[in-house]
Amino acid sequence: MSINMTTKDYPFLLTREQASRFLGIDPKSFDKYIRSHNDLDRFMIGRHERYTMKSLVHFIERHSV
């Protein structure tokens, strides 16, 4: 997957909703299957989690079956 082709549609730090849209899944599925893992790199702004596309792609690649 090429991250460069999609970066113009998203900010550098993604919210939960943007991250789930980037991955093409429902936000509830993102919470259940991805966000709940400690392996996912996240950036905290106060009490709000933010994610980079690179960390999301890396997580998916590491956990592929």
What's the token pair of residue 9? 């549609």
Alpha carbon of 35 to those of 32, 46, 57: distances in Å?
Answer: 7, 17, 13
pTM above 0.85, yes or no: no
If pLDDT is split at 50, 70 and 90, which confidence band does 9 have? confident
Task: Flag whether pLDDT at 1 surpasses 60.
Answer: no
DSSP string, 15-64: -HHHHHHHHTS-HHHIIIIIIT-TTS--EEETTEEEB-HHHHHHHHHHT-
pLDDT band at residue 45 using 50, 70 and 90 as cut-offs: very high
Q: Does residue 48 sit in helix, strand or coil? A: strand
Res 65: pLDDT: 87
pLDDT tens profile 11-31: 999 999 999 999 999 999 999
Q: Work out the percent of the chain whose per-residue pLDDT is above 90.
A: 83
